[in-house]
Amino acid sequence: MASTASRTIGSFEVEGEIARGGMGVVYRAHQPLLERPAVLKTLRRELADDRALGERFRREAQAAASVHHENVVAVYDGFTFRGRSYIAQEFVDGEDLATAIRATERLPARIAAMIFLDIARGLEAIHAGGIVHRDLKPSNVMLTRCGRAKVADFGIALGRNGPALTQTGHAVGTPRYMSPEQLYGERVDPRSDLFAAGVVLYEMLAGRPPFAESCEEDDDALVRRIESGRFPSIRKLAPRTPRWLARLVHRCLRSRPRKRPASATVVRERLERALGESAVRERHAIVAEWMWNHDVFPKLKDETAPSPVRSRRVGPQALRAAAVAAAIGAALLSWAWALERLGVDLPLPAWAEGAKLPWEQVASRSTAFLDARVGSGVEP
């Protein structure tokens, strides 16, 4: 966008327009004082005088700024410049989850579970601040080039302080990701976000939301389907989904809030137990490698993909094999030493000729061998 190439808004230098929607405009910017990239969001000029939208915009800044977590997009500032309100937030170098799903059609269960763990961690932090997001969907989940997922866009978040932006009986959100209670404008709580999270997880696994059969269907049919709580089993559309993950999906999608998981913490703990300590620790490297291999970042695919850094651990099989090798080596050395002391000169098999070497050389070679095999994490 040429007109904003050298434009300054507050303490930010605008570099160009990223996106424009029905309500707002998003710019890529740079903050010279702190030498960091940023994103500026503002309402469209023709909507700037709408008080309700202005209040909603202000609430987004306040809600997001109150949460500080690695799985939530950070808000840097909220300010007014020449009569228009702006939100300055973290620039996430990557793509949104909706783009990743479109690029790959569906995600492997292990990758989906790892991304979902980050989403659960983000929701846990949001809910701990007394906030209900109310608009969780794939386009509001950012994936960094390093494999981390971040929850974004608090535009219709509901905090513990202040009244709701809409009156009871009026639904706000994206219908295909909304819980039944949210669809009917009833009171919502964190379990409504868990319902939306379940829809997101289902879509990652199946390539489509559970209740929306097509993009063109009318909202009334969608609402009736969500209210009924009926949807195709995830293992029918994605047969390789582990049973534990399928059960988690179905629990999140229960029509009655009290039958869903009690909190995002419960979901996080279930994922951590099922994935295992190693996968939880290395999930970002694993997700990043998978996304790069599947061209989730088309604008960046000509660049060299970052090499995921993973911890090198020795598995139990490698340790057992190393112990056996050490025991065999010690037995050979003892045998050779005993023969030498007794003055017995028996021919050794070709594979044991190393036992005739001086003790120091044999020990050195054995140590080097074991260090090379165990240190590299390769089973002997």
Active site members:
135
| Count of alpha carbons within 13 angstroms of residue 250, beta-carbon side | 14
Burial of 380 from C-beta contacts in 10 A (0-12 / 13-18 / 19+): middle
> CA nearest 144: which of 194, 91, 196?
91
Q: Which residue has the tokens 């434009």?
A: 7
Task: Indicate the length of the chain as a whole number.
Answer: 380
Q: Give the Cα separation of 379 and 118 in Å (integer).
A: 32
How far apart are the C-alpha atoms of 151 and 69, rounded to whole Å?
10
Give the CA count within 13 Å in the CB-facing half-sphere of 267. 35
178: alpha, beta or left? (left if phi > 0; alpha if psi -120 to 50):
beta
Give the single-character DSSP code of 284: H
* 347: three-class secondary structure by DSSP: coil
- Looking at residue 173, its amino acid is G
> Cα separation of 183 and 171, whole Å?
5
Sheet with 149-151, edge to edge strand ranges: 94-96, 141-144, 149-151
